[in-house]
Chains A and B, each alone.
Chain A
Amino acid sequence: MNNKILGHFLQATNDVFQMMFDIEFDFSTPMKAKSLHYEEGQICAEIALLGDIKGIITFRFNADTALDLVEIMSGMKINEVDEFVKSALGEIANIISGNALTALSQEAIIGDLEPPMIITQSKKLEKNDNVHITVVDATSDIGTMNFVFVEENQ
């Protein structure tokens, strides 16, 4: 994923988290990865990107961070990752990605989104000639999350 596209997703993430949660992230330098491993216990909101950008963006939360976010939104104590929590996180991923695509469309990069898929099971993907994997870590007061971009060759 080129830096311009990546930059819009990170900017949209910061904007949404700042507005909705009063949370600001520090992002790491994007790192190329040879494989991708979702561990059980993490909550991964995957969104497939279509159009000029082809690939998948994943917002990967650890369970504590995910529960904290939904507690902030709901004002209630949330003890487990259930359908309610997964759906709320999926919608946040959807909002961020939608905002990033709106910003990209102003630069004539036109894309669309599939509805988010929430993965909580272990999953592994190896880099191959058709896909490139980029990972960015994001740290904030409520913990760490990271972004995984799996870009298909155009």
Chain B
Amino acid sequence: MIWKDKYRLGVVEIDKQHMELFRRVNDFVVTLRSKGSWQEKVDKVNDTLQFMQDYVVIHFKAEEAYQLKIGYTGYEHHKKLPDDMVKYVTDFAEAYENEGYKEELVQRFAGKLLAWLINHVVAEDLKIVQHTIQKEDQ
């Protein structure tokens, strides 16, 4: 999972958070897809899960504050996306514990997380940049 400069929004705090999300999710996916035993991977899985539960909330709050500051018209729609993701991560963490820490479940979680994060950064958040550019042009 490769961070590209074109993903930068030009908002230092949010860019730093996106880079951190990419770094952590990439480490997680690399570990998960490596050849080691499941037992060797469990620590990384637990660590990532805890990180995601904490960090996505911090990140989305920072994004919401920025959107309100610039008067982003898509704020209400955008706000729903993180709510859905926070719920997904929380539900997954619960299922992971209840179903006995199964690898198959984590592989599924990682696939969704990968696609979701790329879309979140390249598609949803770049709309915010376009909004800012349009406002500056007016």
Contacts and interface: CB of A to CB of B under 8 A. Distances in A.
Contacts of A85: 111
A20 B77 contact: no
B30 interface: yes
Nearest to B104: A83
A73 B115 CA distance: 7
Interface in A38-92: 70, 73-76, 78, 82-92
A36 B123 CA distance: 32
Taking chain A's interface residues, is the majority helix, strand, or loop, or is none over half, making it mixed? Answer: helix
A63 to B, nearest CB: 15
Contacts of A83: 104, 107-108, 111
A70 B33 CA distance: 13
A20 B109 contact: no
A139 interface: no
B46 interface: no
A144 interface: no
B93 interface: no
Interface size band for B: 20 to 34
Contact of A73 (B114, B123, B126): B114
Given A19-B123, A20-B123, A84-B107, A91 B115 contact: yes
Contact of A76 (B29, B104, B108, B122): B29
B11 interface: no
Contacts of A95: 115-116, 119, 123
Contacts of A82: 107
B30 A20 contact: no
Interface string A79-113: 00011111111111001000000100000000000
B107 A87 contact: yes
Nearest to A88: B111
Interface string B83-111: 00000000000000000000010011111
A-B CB proximity, top 4 nearest: A87-B111, A88-B111, A91-B115, A83-B107
Interface of B: 1-2, 26, 29-30, 32-33, 77, 104, 107-112, 114-116, 118-119, 122-123, 126
